[in-house]
């Protein structure tokens, strides 16, 4: 008898986990998650699920560890992953609208446009996307990686955040 290969499917862990699981439930998949495991159970014998940070899913698909996954288009771009995007799901952790990245500075900052960032420092989770944005606007600035609550850094450590 031929052994069937299971589809290895990456789902986002963290803030997008609950809305993603709700969508999977609506699609007919019953997924049970243990708080101590990144390998949930699913009621489909041809499917294996892995919970992974959304930021990493496209890389794991690109590198062949996962067969497919749900993540943001922004993370596909940031990771420069070579993957096939087959569907767009309009949801986020809080709304049904897609998320947007913004470039932010303190209110009292003299920076009023992207061109005012010439020679400045920007902190962001999306270094590649930010560098590409600056390049499109012919602005040379230092872009540094920052996880999480980046907003506290503006004015004390960096000139802008994204």
Nearest one of 129, 127, 133 to 114, comparing CA atoms? 133
Instruction: Out of 79, 101, 132, pick the residue that ends a domain.
Output: 79
Cβ neighbours of residue 17 closer than 8 Å, sequence gap 6 or more = 11, 33, 51
CB 144 within 8 A of CB 84: no
Do 20 and 66 share a domain, yes or no?
Answer: yes
- 98 belongs to a structural domain: no
If asked whether residues 127 and 75 sit together in one domain, one would say no
Report the DSSP beta bridge partners of residue 104.
161
Residues 67 and 121 occupy one common structural domain: no
Which pLDDT belongs to residue 130?
Answer: 92
* pLDDT for the residue 147: 76
Of 63, 79, 95, the last residue of a domain is 79
Determine the straight-line distance between the first and last CA of the chain, rounded to whole angstroms. Answer: 54
Q: What residues contact 69, with CB distance under 8 A and at least 6 apart?
A: 9, 10, 11, 52, 57, 58, 60, 61
CB within 8 A of 71, min separation 6: which ones? 10, 12, 54, 55, 57, 58
Spatial separation of the C-alpha atoms in residues 49 and 31, rounded to whole Å: 9
Q: What is the model's pLDDT at position 76? A: 94
- The rounded Cα 103 to chain-centroid distance in angstroms is 17
- pLDDT score at 153: 58
Give the CATH number for residue 122: 3.40.190.10
**Are 16 and 70 within one domain?**
yes
Q: Is residue 64 part of a domain?
A: yes
10-residue mean pLDDT profile of the chain (162 residues): values are 78 90 94 87 94 95 97 92 90 65 84 93 90 95 81 63 66
Measured CA to CA, the distance from residue 162 to residue 53 in angstroms comes to 19
Structural domain boundaries, residue 16: 7-79
Rounded distance between C-alpha atoms, residue 146 and residue 124, angstroms: 5
Bridge partners, 143 (sequence order): 122
Residue 93 domain-assigned? no
pLDDT on residue 61: 98
Q: Is residue 1 a part of any domain in this protein?
A: no
Domain annotation covers residue 148: yes
Number of domains in the chain: 2
φ, ψ for residue 47, nearest 5 deg: -130, 135
Q: Please indicate, yes or no, if residue 133 is contained in any of the structural domains.
A: yes
Distance CA 58, CA 64 (A): 10
């Amino acid at each position: 008898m031929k052994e069937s290969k299971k589809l290895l499917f990456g789902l986002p862990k963290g803030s997008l986990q609950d809305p993603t699981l709700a969508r999977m439930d609506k699609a007919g998949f019953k997924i049970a998650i243990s708080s101590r495991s990144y390998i949930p159970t699913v009621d489909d014998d041809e499917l294996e699920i892995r919970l992974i940070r959304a930021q990493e899913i496209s890389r794991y698909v690109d590198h062949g560890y996962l067969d497919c996954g749900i993540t943001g288009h922004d993370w596909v771009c940031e990771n420069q992953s070579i993957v096939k995007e087959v569907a767009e799901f309009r949801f986020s952790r809080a709304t049904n609208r897609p998320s947007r990245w913004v470039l932010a500075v303190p209110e009292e900052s003299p920076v009023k446009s992207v061109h005012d960032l010439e020679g400045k420092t920007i902190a962001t989770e999306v270094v590649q996307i930010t560098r590409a944005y600056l390049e499109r606007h012919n602005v040379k600035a230092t872009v540094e990686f920052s996880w999480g609550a980046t907003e506290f850094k503006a004015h004390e450590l960096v000139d802008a955040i994204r």
